[in-house]
Chains A and B, each alone.
Chain A
Amino acid sequence: MVRADLNIIRKEFRAFKGVEHYRGEFLHLLPFNFHRLKDERELLTSITGDYIIAEAGSVDKIINHRSTLDEPFIHDLIAGHFVSYNPPAEQIDILANRLRTKKGLYEIKPALHIIVLTLRCDHTCSYCQVSRVTENKTDYDLSKDQLNLIIEKILDSQESSITVEFQGGESLLAFDNIIYTVEALKERATVRNKKFKFVTCTNLSKITKDQIAFLKENTIAISSSLDGPEFIHNSIRHIKTRDSHQRLLSSLSIIDEVWSRDYVDVLMTTSRLSLKHPKEIIDEYIRLGFRSIFLRPISPYGFALRLESINYGSEDFFEFYQIGLEYILEKCKHGFDLREQYACIVLKKILTPFQDNYVDLMSPSGSMTRVVVYDYDGNIYASDEGRMLAQNRDFTFQIGNINQSWKEIYQNNSSRNILSHSFTELHAACSNCALEPYCGSDPIHHHATQFDIYGNMNDSTFCKRSKFIIEYLISLIEKGDENSEILRSWIH
């Protein structure tokens, strides 16, 4: 039976008493928000993230003239949990269950543990967000004693399925410590009832066959960077030999030969130069056989905040994103298999009862609740961005150190301060925004850009970007055309 028929039957079933029976006072409001679109139509979102786009004036009718609503619209409103014939109390269980499915239990249970093994790096990238030191300065590495404490902290954490991510500097410069940590954690995983996944972040300039063999043997995924074709990549990712892009390609060839590209993910960061070349960047990803690209703006932290030459405004990024996404969709129509990752994250929130654990777009914010960072000196931060701020002597997001227990860490003033500013549901501006179910909280971004951890959303680049992309994606999926089908197929 086709879906349309089912809907008719459902609606008939719901209406077996006749809509007149339920009109007026019997139609109860459930919590919802609305957002006025550019064409004046109204986007209504329920507390669980169901949405309806309605003509201008619909919200006023729902609130003040309920008896004038037409029957099909009432059915849509009921199906989306905007109104109910039954007393609202009867909806609490179902809405609470759906909300829990979407957002979890709001626990502090970091599933991503990032270990900064070293600050040493062979690159001096323009927009690098953290301090780095030259390759020979081993004082900037974690010691074995510190690593042992970190390993114990990971094993002590509440979450049972944990991803451990090795970062730097250049993590492969401390490869012995990767081996040590992976082996120690694997050895104790069963006894401590943990499951581990491992990721190493590397610029892939110096990876060897032996290192790849170890990564393969232990299924350690590789996260690297590709900013586009050679002229873009090398203009920002500086190395003495000026061949960062060529080195990346050589390493990818070795990985293809020894292991598989399926375990390599690359991220791009949008610089001022990238803004002019979205299509060239996407073509490069396709040429190198990648099936996803993350059109990411530059993070306003560390060196990136100070350098005018690489920074840019929100509107410039929106134009870049829009051209980029439309180009990806065109490529998909011609048979290429490529997805834009930010769109995938947002679409999953909009179109399914679930969401990914993408720590930069969730409420409560993923900082500290889903991710923690162990720095090379033993300090612990709420997120990688928090560590970056500390490089500029701003320790707002340092939540403790490896000598403290989790209880001491989570109950200190710093952690409480971060947590209390991590909820969109509690923010004066976000709590009545219709896009809130698809958005997230980013106290670190607002602290870094506005010197106000709470954040003024009217002047927030984070808010602007989220609104632009969410509204843009909804407009694309609402068209019901081939683009809409492609975008829907990206959700998995």
Chain B
Amino acid sequence: MILSKQTYSLKAVREALYWGEKNSTAIINEDSNSWIIDFNLESNEDTIDSIEFNFLKRLNDFQLRHQINEETKNLRQLIYAKMLFPQHISVQTNDKNDDPLELLEGK
């Protein structure tokens, strides 16, 4: 199976493989533009087609998770840091919830 590196991150590929069927193994290779995945079956319970189909389904979900993580990982770390050390982390914000009608704005 050949996957575009532009579409899928290595992390997503690895995580999708992690949750794969127990009777299969996979080897990841790469060239400059693609991930090349070779599946091997260790028993006849499944076919390569079904293994690849399930892998792709998982991969699309893991790619979405990867995107969420990329966009929010710093925020996640800050939330945990603030949770654990509330006195040591101060976040400067311009919280509009304090002034929803913007009555104080400009004063």
The interface of chain A, by Cβ under 8 A from chain B, is 13, 16, 29-34, 36, 47, 59-60, 63-64, 86-93, 95-97, 99-100, 103, 105-106, 425, 428-429, 432, 458-459
Contact = CB atoms under 8 A, between A and B. Distances in A.
B79 A92 contact: yes
B67 interface: yes
A47 B86 contact: no
Contact of A459 (B22, B89, B97): B22
Contacts of A106: 84
A31 B18 contact: no
A86 B83 contact: no
B75 A31 contact: yes
A328 to B, nearest CB: 32
Given A86-B96, A96-B82, A99-B83, 15 more contacts: A29-B72, A31-B68, A34-B61, A86-B93, A88-B72, A90-B91, A90-B95, A93-B82, A93-B91, A96-B79, A97-B83, A105-B84, A428-B15, A458-B19, A459-B22
Contacts of A88: 72, 75
B91 A432 contact: no
B80 A34 contact: no
Given A86-B96, A92-B91, A29 B68 contact: yes
A347 to B, nearest CB: 23
B71 A29 contact: yes
Contacts of B67: 63-64
A227 B18 CA distance: 38
26 contacts: A13-B100, A29-B68, A30-B75, A31-B68, A31-B69, A31-B79, A34-B61, A34-B64, A59-B64, A86-B93, A86-B95, A88-B72, A89-B75, A89-B78, A90-B95, A90-B97, A92-B79, A93-B82, A96-B83, A99-B80, A105-B84, A428-B18, A429-B15, A429-B18, A458-B18, A459-B22
Contacts of B82: 92-93, 96
Given A90-B95, A458-B22, A31 B83 contact: no
Contact of A90 (B19, B20, B84, B93): B93
Contact of B15 (A33, A86, A432): A432
B104 to A, nearest CB: 16
**Secondary structure class of chain B's binding surface, majority of residues:** helix
B93 A87 contact: yes
Interface of B: 15, 18-20, 22, 61-62, 64-65, 67-69, 71-73, 75-76, 78-80, 82-84, 86, 89, 91-97, 100
Contacts of A96: 79-80, 82-83, 86
B68 A63 contact: yes
B91 A89 contact: yes
Contacts of A89: 75, 78, 91-93
A34 B68 CA distance: 10
Contacts of B96: 86
A31 B93 contact: no
B76 A47 contact: yes
A88 B94 CA distance: 11
A88 B73 CA distance: 12
In the A-B complex, list the 5 residue pairs whose CB atoms are closest, starting with the nearest. Answer: A96-B82, A31-B76, A96-B83, A31-B72, A90-B93
Nearest to B101: A16
A423 to B, nearest CB: 10
B65 to A, nearest CB: 5
Given A100-B86, A425-B80, A33 B65 contact: yes
B82 to A, nearest CB: 4
Given A96-B79, A100-B86, A33 B64 contact: no
B28 to A, nearest CB: 16
A29 B93 CA distance: 17
Contact of B61 (A36, A47, A459): A36
Contacts of B78: 89, 92
Contacts of B68: 29, 31-33, 59, 63
Contacts of A458: 18-20, 22
Contacts of B73: 31
A100 B85 CA distance: 10
Nearest to A59: B64
A30 B20 CA distance: 29
B76 to A, nearest CB: 4
Contacts of B92: 89
Contacts of B86: 96, 100
Contacts of A87: 93-94
Among A47, A89, A96, A432: residue with most chain B CB under 10 A: A96
A425 B69 CA distance: 13
A36 B72 CA distance: 20
A106 B68 CA distance: 25
Contacts of A47: 76, 79
Q: Find the residue from B68, B72, B94, B95 having the highest chain A CB count within 10 A.
A: B68
B53 to A, nearest CB: 14
Contacts of A459: 22
A452 B18 CA distance: 16
A92 B69 CA distance: 16
Nearest to A85: B96
Nearest to B92: A89
